[in-house]
Chains A and B, each alone.
Chain A
Amino acid sequence: MSNLEPIIKLAGVTKSFGAVQVLKGIDLHVSEGEVLVVIGASGSGKSTVLRIMSGLETADSGQVWVNSVPLHDPRRAREIRGHVGMVFQQFNLFPHLTALGNVTLALLKVRKLSAEVAKKKALAVLDRVGLAEKAGNYPSQLSGGQQQRVAIARALAVEPTIMFFDEATSALDPELVGEVTSVMRSLADEGMTMVVVTHEMSFARKTADRVVFMDQGIIAEQGPPEQLFVRPQNDRTKQFLQRVLEV
């Protein structure tokens, strides 16, 4: 981990949906190049934290700095758009566009690249996820694993400083999980700053620099994977790990 100013800083972040308080005061720093994996039961608030970091949700209180943008400031929050990447559980590919079209859209509309340059760039990222030969296929013509890899390519094409993964493998058939996690692992190896919400404990174990366990809207425990998985301190962490590792 570097000693530089953290690229993500959350301080006292709370969030409620209606009467339910989902986040009850989150303090969290992520350093540049770090791979942070967030685990926890459903409803623990882990996806909400990720959505707040990516600018999809706004915190009710507290401070959120991502890539030097104060997301808690509504006048400046939109500056984050196009500078972070997000991979969703449901892929959220554009069904009316080919794999290539999905990847080039932001390059054409946001980066204003010429069609030729955008295509070249898109093919390069598709190649990076091993799908250059599927560039002309529509999402409906691809397997779930391939669709998610296209979604990763789409996010990478805009050269984000941080990549967020929101249960990126949860909707996949078990035999397709590996091809997605291996792309994620290679990104981590290349030094990408990543925040990953996942149920894949083996991915967390092998790839995370740090694992955060969330429980009922707070960070119950965090530490390097070898510590959190082997010698969890918190009883809730122990219970959770027992449950998920038994399955």
Chain B
Amino acid sequence: MNFIVVLASFPQLLEGLLITLALSAASIVGSTLLGLLAATLRVSRVPIGSQIARIYVEVFRGSPLLITLLFVYFGSAYAGYHMNIFAAAVVGISVYQGAYIAEIIRAGIESVPPGQWEASKILGLSNSQTFVSVVLPQTGKIVLPPLIGQYIALIKDTSIAFVIGLAELVRQGQAIIDRVGQPLAVYVTIAALYFIICYPLSRWVRGLEKRSQPA
């Protein structure tokens, strides 16, 4: 493995890294908003909304991210709407990860004891006031560890945007290999870069889990 060659191409890897980070950040925001919306609909007593949310979760948990991504990018082009590659990647990953995040948030909402709803009801708070002021704030602490775990999976999954031609980290690495060879050194470097992003997050999760354990 010749890391000197890789070092010479490092600016190109950094370019890819920036795209990966931007894609991750945008998809984390998108998937969290979608997940929150789907979870809220799912626990709401609006029958149609709850059904739509359930179908959404089942469909995207039951199909590969690769298919979702190809469907969004090529499907939109086929429908006559040419989507920017980066936007397509954000949409595909957000929709896919949103399904998982919806289930994490739903589990958090349902773990809030019914007594909290009852106390709020007697006090005169409406269901939506209870949800926003009483239930959601308590959900945060419960869902944060699994949520960050899901974000780690999301960050690594951004590499699949490679297949629709987004110049993210893996694709830039592949371009370097095509030009100068040294695949092993390039792959090890890429893996190390992902690790540097994800490791602090997984440390954070472990810290949160430790803190939430009863003393």
Give A contacts to B, CB under 8 Å.
54-56, 81-86, 88, 90, 92-96, 105-106, 109-110, 151, 154-155, 158
> Using Cβ atoms and an 8 Å threshold, which residues of chain B touch A155?
122-123
A96–B122 contact, CB under 8 A?
no
- The answer to whether B115 and A105 touch across the interface, beta carbons within 8 angstroms, is no
B206 within 8 A of A: no
Check A110–B122 contact: CB distance below 8 A: no
Contact, CB under 8 Å: A92 / B124: no
- A106/B125 contact (C-beta < 8 A), A86-B119, A92-B115 known: yes
Which A-B residue pairs are the 3 nearest by beta carbons?
A82-B124, A92-B115, A106-B123
Contact A109/B125 with A95-B138, A96-B137, A96-B138 known, Cβ cut-off 8 Å:
yes
| CB closest residue in chain A, given B136 | A96
Bound complex: CA A33 to CA B119 (Å)? 23
Task: Give Cα distance in the complex from A96 to B140, angstroms.
Answer: 10
- In the complex, chain B residues 81-117 whose Cβ is within 8 Å of any chain A Cβ: 113, 115-116
Determine the chain A residues whose CB is within 8 A of the CB of B137 once the complex forms: 96
Docked complex Cα distance between A225 and B125 (Å): 36
Partner of A105, one of B121, B123, B138: B123
- Assess the A54–B122 pair: CB atoms within 8 A: yes
A94 touches B116 (CB 8 A): yes
B133 at the interface (CB under 8 A from A): yes
Interface residues on B, range: 10 to 19
What would 6 A/B residue contacts be, using CB atoms closer than 8 Å? Answer: A56-B118, A82-B123, A92-B119, A105-B123, A106-B125, A151-B119
Q: Is the interface of B mostly helix, strand, loop or mixed?
A: helix
Specify which of B119, B133, B134, B138 is in contact with A88 (CB 8 Å cutoff): B119
B129 interface residue (CB < 8 Å to A)? yes
Q: How far is the CB of B139 from chain A (nearest CB, A)?
A: 10
Q: Of A81, A90, A105, which is within 8 A of B122 by CB?
A: A81
Closest to A101 in B: B133
Q: Is there an interface contact between B121 and A56, defined as CB atoms closer than 8 Å?
A: yes
Tell me if A84 and B125 are in contact (CB < 8 A). no
Task: Identify 13 new A-B residue pairs, CB closer than 8 A, beyond the known A90-B115, A95-B138, A158-B123.
Answer: A56-B121, A56-B122, A81-B121, A81-B124, A84-B122, A90-B113, A93-B119, A94-B138, A96-B141, A106-B125, A109-B129, A109-B133, A155-B122
Q: Which residues of B contact A95 (CB under 8 A)?
A: 138
Residues of A within 8 A of B113 (CB): 90, 92
Contact B119 A110, beta carbon cutoff 8 Å: no
Contact B124 A106 (CB under 8 A): yes
Q: Are B116 and A154 neighbours in the complex by a CB distance under 8 Å?
A: no
A90 CA / B138 CA spacing, docked (Å): 17
Q: How many angstroms from the CA of A155 to the CA of B121 in the assembled complex?
A: 11
Contacts A95-B138, A105-B133 hold; do A110 and B115 have CB atoms under 8 A apart? Answer: no
Task: Tell me which residues from 123 to 151 in chain B have a Cβ below 8 Å from any Cβ of chain A.
Answer: 123-125, 129, 133-134, 137-138, 141
- B123, B134, B141 interface centre (most CB from chain A within 10 Å): B123
Give residues of chain B (1-60) contacting chain A, Cβ–Cβ below 8 Å.
none
Q: Which residues of B contact A92 (CB under 8 A)?
A: 113, 115-116, 118-119
A110 to B121, Cβ gap below 8 A?
no
- How many Å from the CB of B131 to the closest CB on chain A? 12
CA distance A81 to B124 in the complex (A): 5
Max chain B CB contacts within 10 Å: which of A55, A88, A95, A155? A95
